[in-house]
Chain A
Amino acid sequence: MQYLANPTRFLKLANAVLPTVWVITLLLFAVGLYGALFTAPQDYQQGETVRIMYVHVPAAWLALMVYSVMALASAVAVIFRHPLADVAAKTAAPIGAVFCFLSLATGSLWGKPMWGAWWVWDARLTSMFVLMLLYIGYMAIWAAIDEPHRAAMVARVVALVGFINVPIVKFSVDWWNSLHQPASVFRMGGPTIEKSMLWPLLVMGLAYTFLFLALHLVSIRAEIAARKIRQIHIAEIGDR
């Protein structure tokens, strides 16, 4: 990990890995979407709308995972003073927020025909909504504080405190009587979901994960470039 503390080394690695990551992402999406839209059967109750699941569930997984990545990066920044950890946390936030929004939006598109309402205030939906607000608050901190170093220190606190919500989202369906389906993939005793539906879902999950990896690397690269530009501007002003 310390090896990557040097931004130049990190950029070299990122540039080398990125094309492969993009290709894997596209392949996974091709296979996953084919499985989800063509080979997976209709649900006996939900009919075709069950296919929304293949975009909804991975988006929700990723929304949680990205927040965890953010919190982990913040913890690494606090403990090891790793210079790229703050950049990783900062750039993960907008991507995670989009995944979170995607899961809320697709969930609500599914909820209208299935539950008869766009939105229901139950534990899973509410805690997911709170996750969205936490993402927004985290990004607002970065936007509000001009000095990057100080913003990083404050943002770490916000990310770590907000992490409390992640287990609440995950277990909300077990702790409360929720309208939302209980966990059917990552649970004690193995998945309860039918195999023909499970594999496209898992492939889509992997595809989303690689998509995040690719987008994250790109935006870390962009952030490093932005900081260099900032340094150059400051140096120019100093020269004048």
Chain B
Amino acid sequence: MNLILALIRRDLSLSVRQGGGVGTALGFFLTVVVLLPIGIGPDQALLARIAPGALWISLLLSVLLSADRIFQQDYEDGSLDLMTMGPVPFEMVALAKAIAHWLSTSLPLAIAAPLLGFLVNLEPGAIWPLALAMGIGSIALSLLASIGAAVTVGLRRGGLLVSVLVLPLYVPVLIFGLSASDPAAAPGLTLASLLILGAIALVSLVVSPLASAAALRSYLK
């Protein structure tokens, strides 16, 4: 357990000190959010209606684009090879890295996203539900992204492939995340959607380490 915590701590400090981590992801998030009103038009009523969806999609894309950082560097400099031989089961290594990605990237984004809602005229009442749903949903997002990152870790141009592989898996998160964060559009469904969102996060908590570790192993042989 201590070793796993040490791994998480290592990845966190790496992501903070190397730069290009959460700052870049947040920058990307902002850019997408700003582009949307430009593309759709500045109609305030329309923006308010699509605001939760716009923020969710920006969140999915930002998490996805930061996903290659989960395993790439450790794969290239050989740290992953060492970790396969360490005392920690490799599945737990994969899990620790996904958790580190969540703590360093997805969670800060999920916290910042509702606050940036004013850019797309988000209803003030929707801020809290959105933050809660994104907080839970972002766990699943990071875990699923780590599968995609593991599957493409040895490919030189894996970026687009990650999107093709992972975005379909993001669909359920997006659907239930939206109905949990938009009480006006789906009254009475908020709690149920939050619970399903939690269930998705738990399922990915089981599937993701197994799948990521299996995929990583095939590259490390």
Contact = CB atoms under 8 A, between A and B. Distances in A.
A153 interface: yes
Contact of A130 (B147, B157, B168): B168
Nearest to B219: A150
Interface stretch (A21-29, A46-54, A138-146): A138-146
Contacts of B158: 144
Contacts of A140: 161, 164-165
B164 A137 contact: yes
Interface in B74-97: none
Contacts of B147: 157, 161
Nearest to B213: A157
B132 interface: no
B171 A126 contact: yes
Interface string B147-158: 100111011011
Contact of B155 (A126, A137, A145, A168): A145
B215 to A, nearest CB: 5
B168 A158 contact: no
Contacts, number: 61
A112 to B, nearest CB: 24
Contacts of A141: 151, 161, 165
Interface in A64-93: 78
B164 A157 contact: no
Interface in A115-141: 126-127, 130, 133-134, 136-137, 140-141
Contacts of A106: none
The dominant DSSP class at the A interface is: helix
A216 interface: no
A228 to B, nearest CB: 23
Contact of A161 (B164, B167, B207, B219): B207
B218 A161 contact: no
Contacts of A166: none
The dominant DSSP class at the B interface is: helix
Contact of B215 (A127, A130, A144, A157): A157
B211 A160 contact: yes
B211 A157 contact: yes
B214 interface: yes
B169 interface: yes
Nearest to A134: B168
A156 interface: yes
Nearest to A130: B168
B156 to A, nearest CB: 10
A193 interface: no
Given A130-B171, A133-B164, A157 B214 contact: yes
Nearest to B164: A137
Contact of B151 (A133, A157, A168): A157
Nearest to B152: A144
A165 interface: yes
A107 interface: no
Given A140-B164, A164-B169, A168-B172, 9 more contacts: A126-B171, A134-B168, A140-B161, A141-B151, A153-B214, A154-B151, A154-B219, A157-B147, A157-B214
Interface of A: 78, 126-127, 130, 133-134, 136-137, 140-141, 144-145, 150, 153-154, 156-158, 160-162, 164-165, 168
Interface of B: 147, 150-152, 154-155, 157-158, 161, 164-165, 167-169, 171-172, 203, 207, 211, 214-215, 217-219, 221
25 contacts: A78-B214, A126-B171, A134-B168, A137-B164, A137-B168, A140-B164, A140-B165, A141-B151, A141-B161, A145-B154, A145-B155, A150-B154, A150-B218, A150-B219, A150-B221, A153-B214, A153-B215, A153-B217, A156-B214, A158-B151, A161-B207, A161-B211, A162-B168, A164-B169, A165-B168
